[in-house]
Chains A and B, each alone.
Chain A
């Protein structure tokens, strides 16, 4: 299967003639700078939900298919309480985009990701969009559930940090995609844009409370390959998001997804009651007048863990992160026009088990705090070379002295 997929992608790439050009280099230069002064007025009204198409593609002459992608690689040296595994080199992911405008109002886009070499190969997105009206677009296929901002807007070259935000990958299972259908639409005024998304998809399964992480872990469902073939329990996962943005101020999004995660019946026989999982996310981003870019996301998850199951598995989780990116220097450097040096800082926290022990009334912990300062160099808006220092404190369920992990990461990510 892996080899067939690789072969198909290779053929598509080889079909692109040598004279292929980006469809608009200047437009891409405007797209990916962290500084809104690089953006056109239209770009200033782009939302996180637009990230799907807000990518550079190569279009071959007369070819109906556009090709793109990105690569992320890095090295890191991390140490936990004096113990280190040494220096590692990681090819975290290579992602291929294939897109096609079937008609002026019918588009197709796919995103195929190879993680850690070929350890994981996923079709993260493969959907057809049909515009019926600017406020009513039909999307179907393998779609990214629009929960929070990171799940929608996760391409490596857009970020100054090598690690993805913890709450966005361990509470929200980014990248989280499922088979389903839904609607989205946008309404523009002069300085405002408002958008909504609403989808029904396949959803979670009971691995979220039966996994080798020893905690409630929504991403465990990603191991279920069958979710692209059939729903685990026949109840669709509902995902709703609404976002609003004002030019020169910023964007705020509110999203929710909810459904049943357990197999409550099989062959017509009742096995359990319906158990729900609900996730809420609040995301925001803005650029301050001095060019400081602030981006963040808060997430809450509620899981109906059976009362007879262990308290090790949280009934409530919460987390969040804030990224602050400050362009320090933006000018021609080392032969690159408009190269940018950024200073960056991420602060993040996840609490996998919000509650108190029934036996003692003490708070249940199982949480992580992390702080990640970094520096990045963008020779062009679509490429980032970044160095991060990461320090995090991980406290176990009981609240014992935290394990301290810290280290240095250096890597790059680029669209191609």
Chain B
């Protein structure tokens, strides 16, 4: 081969490589297309803690050797929250044992959560006979830090237990007995030694540490210094049966995961300036959907500077509402009634399909397969709003749905 040919080939490869570097490497998806990633302006120290929590949440896979189970629901946090989004029916979990405000009557039979899987040689739990239960779809994780930074007074300001304004919408907090490791903060306002729950379908977790410790134990069978006993299948034995030393994760790791959850970014609304989306938002408010799905909040001072004084739009009031008999599974938590559910945040709703395998599974157990279907399943305090939605013209309904899809 002539030297000139070789030089030409060499040059062609170099040019190809230079061009290819720009065009053949997959680019970053748009910021508004992803739920994961940190809130802006964390300090380098906070970035390091966020990354540690990210690794523990998304990359750490538990095995029998590292403490998984012996009975469990999932092998990692990320298994239930792909890309920090909503879960999938495959990871839907079952809570059981409580049918009124008097507490869970099935704690001695493995309540409040069913561990429906088991490591080799162990037997998963079965629902005890006669136990009320409900299936819970794992929620998205985004923006939790801002919800956690709100004060109890702010939440209580929207409560209307006696429906004094006569709009048919009450809204009550779920009062939760705190776990032994809970530390009260200035923004908490307890009543009778109980605190307002903010997280979970029934708002049964007071803060993100409470939520995280419970998830490690109840979802993965992982003990920590905060809760050092593995879940037990009482139908087999009264004793926990895995052979990994306890605690199976350190407090440092739990705290890193809590920080990660606190500092995950807020979902970014897409096409907010679109005329249909703006009309849809107006329709959302005029149909009174926004009475529970509260559009705007502002955080008070927080120990994490970037969470302080932030105005944000989660579309939730963090209160419980009676959703009617069709969504009443007969199971409850805390002081909530069985028909009461915490208003779920709607931010990130339009990205749900990206974490649920291309489809959507909405409402507490994923029974609704579209936003329209979910709205039509609203009852109880939402009956009037549902009626207004159904009465909209097709064009207006599609605008309202377009707005929700933009969140």
Q: Report A's interface with B, CB cutoff 8 A.
A: 77, 79-84, 206-207, 209-214, 262, 271-272, 306, 308-312, 329, 331, 333-334, 357-360, 362, 365, 375, 387, 389, 391, 396-401, 404-408
Q: Closest approach, in angstroms, between the C-beta of B241 and any C-beta of chain A?
A: 13
A398 near B28: Cβ-Cβ < 8 Å: no
- List the 3 closest A-B pairs by CB distance, nearest first: A82-B28, A398-B357, A404-B26
| Consensus secondary structure, chain B interface | loop
How long is the Cα–Cα vector from A267 to B235 in the complex, in angstroms?
Answer: 26
B383 at the A interface (CB under 8 A) = no
- Selected from A214, A362, A365, the residue in CB contact (under 8 A) with B76 is A214
Closest to B25 in A: A79
Q: Assess A211 versus B61: contact at CB under 8 Å? Given A389-B24, A398-B357, A399-B357.
A: yes
Chain B stretch 14-28: residues in CB contact (< 8 A) with chain A: 17, 20-21, 24-28
Q: Assess A310 versus B76: contact at CB under 8 Å? Given A398-B357, A400-B82.
A: no
B157 at the A interface (CB under 8 A) = no
Q: Closest approach, in angstroms, between the C-beta of B9 and any C-beta of chain A?
A: 8
Closest to A262 in B: B120
Encode B58-69 as 1/0 by CB contact (under 8 A) with A: 001101110010
B83 at the A interface (CB under 8 A) = yes
- Selected from A211, A308, A391, the residue in CB contact (under 8 A) with B123 is A308
How long is the Cα–Cα vector from A214 to B76 in the complex, in angstroms?
Answer: 8
How long is the Cα–Cα vector from A308 to B74 in the complex, in angstroms?
Answer: 12
- Selected from B26, B29, B124, the residue in CB contact (under 8 A) with A79 is B26
Q: Closest approach, in angstroms, between the C-beta of A374 and any C-beta of chain B?
A: 11
Q: Closest approach, in angstroms, between the C-beta of A162 and any C-beta of chain B?
A: 15
How long is the Cα–Cα vector from A369 to B262 in the complex, in angstroms?
Answer: 35
Interface with A: B88-96, B99-107, B187-195, B287-295, which one?
A: B88-96
What are 11 A-B pairs with beta-carbon distances under 8 A?
A81-B28, A82-B29, A83-B28, A211-B61, A214-B79, A306-B118, A308-B117, A312-B74, A333-B1, A359-B88, A359-B92
Q: Closest approach, in angstroms, between the C-beta of B209 and any C-beta of chain A?
A: 25
Inter-chain CB contacts under 8 Å: number: 109
Chain B stretch 310-341: residues in CB contact (< 8 A) with chain A: none
B75 near A214: Cβ-Cβ < 8 Å: yes
Contacts of A365 in B (CB 8 A): 357
B79 near A312: Cβ-Cβ < 8 Å: yes
Q: Please name 10 further chain A to chain B contacts, defined as beta carbons within 8 Å, in addition to the given A214-B61, A329-B1, sorted by A numbering.
A: A81-B29, A82-B27, A82-B28, A207-B63, A210-B64, A211-B63, A262-B120, A365-B357, A397-B90, A398-B90
Q: Assess A406 versus B25: contact at CB under 8 Å? Given A309-B117, A362-B357, A400-B355.
A: yes
Q: Closest approach, in angstroms, between the C-beta of A393 and any C-beta of chain B?
A: 9
B120 near A309: Cβ-Cβ < 8 Å: yes
B356 at the A interface (CB under 8 A) = yes
B90 near A210: Cβ-Cβ < 8 Å: no
How long is the Cα–Cα vector from A358 to B43 in the complex, in angstroms?
Answer: 44
- Selected from B61, B72, B119, B123, the residue in CB contact (under 8 A) with A213 is B61
A408 near B6: Cβ-Cβ < 8 Å: no
Highest count of chain B CB atoms <10 Å: which of A209, A308, A399, A406: A308
B358 at the A interface (CB under 8 A) = yes
B26 near A81: Cβ-Cβ < 8 Å: yes
B151 at the A interface (CB under 8 A) = no
Q: Closest approach, in angstroms, between the C-beta of A352 and any C-beta of chain B?
A: 14
B44 at the A interface (CB under 8 A) = no
Closest to B123 in A: A308
Highest count of chain B CB atoms <10 Å: which of A214, A311, A333, A375: A214
A359 near B89: Cβ-Cβ < 8 Å: yes
Contacts of A359 in B (CB 8 A): 88-90, 92
How long is the Cα–Cα vector from A406 to B20 in the complex, in angstroms?
Answer: 10
B121 at the A interface (CB under 8 A) = yes
Q: Assess A312 versus B75: contact at CB under 8 Å? Given A82-B29, A400-B83.
A: yes
How long is the Cα–Cα vector from A300 to B25 in the complex, in angstroms?
Answer: 31
Q: Closest approach, in angstroms, between the C-beta of B392 and any C-beta of chain A?
A: 31
How long is the Cα–Cα vector from A397 to B26 in the complex, in angstroms?
Answer: 21
How long is the Cα–Cα vector from A397 to B83 in the complex, in angstroms?
Answer: 12
Q: Closest approach, in angstroms, between the C-beta of B56 and any C-beta of chain A?
A: 13
- Selected from B24, B74, B89, B121, the residue in CB contact (under 8 A) with A406 is B24
Closest to B29 in A: A81
Contacts of A214 in B (CB 8 A): 61, 75-76, 79
Q: Closest approach, in angstroms, between the C-beta of A2 and any C-beta of chain B?
A: 25
Highest count of chain A CB atoms <10 Å: which of B120, B121, B124: B120
B90 near A360: Cβ-Cβ < 8 Å: yes
Q: Closest approach, in angstroms, between the C-beta of A308 and any C-beta of chain B?
A: 5
Highest count of chain A CB atoms <10 Å: which of B24, B89, B121, B124: B121
B6 near A333: Cβ-Cβ < 8 Å: yes
How long is the Cα–Cα vector from A309 to B73 in the complex, in angstroms?
Answer: 9
B308 at the A interface (CB under 8 A) = no
B46 at the A interface (CB under 8 A) = no
Contacts of B6 in A (CB 8 A): 333-334
Closest to A215 in B: B61
Q: Closest approach, in angstroms, between the C-beta of B351 and any C-beta of chain A?
A: 10
How long is the Cα–Cα vector from A396 to B124 in the complex, in angstroms?
Answer: 26
Q: Closest approach, in angstroms, between the C-beta of A154 and any C-beta of chain B?
A: 28
Contacts of B354 in A (CB 8 A): 400-401
Contacts of A207 in B (CB 8 A): 63
B391 at the A interface (CB under 8 A) = no
How long is the Cα–Cα vector from A132 to B90 in the complex, in angstroms?
Answer: 56
A272 near B356: Cβ-Cβ < 8 Å: no
Q: Closest approach, in angstroms, between the C-beta of A337 and any C-beta of chain B?
A: 13
Highest count of chain A CB atoms <10 Å: which of B20, B119, B122, B356: B119
B13 at the A interface (CB under 8 A) = yes
Closest to A398 in B: B357
Q: Assess A399 versus B358: contact at CB under 8 Å? Given A312-B79, A357-B90, A375-B13.
A: yes
How long is the Cα–Cα vector from A406 to B118 in the complex, in angstroms?
Answer: 38
Closest to B62 in A: A212
Contacts of B79 in A (CB 8 A): 214, 310, 312
- Selected from B92, B119, B124, the residue in CB contact (under 8 A) with A210 is B119
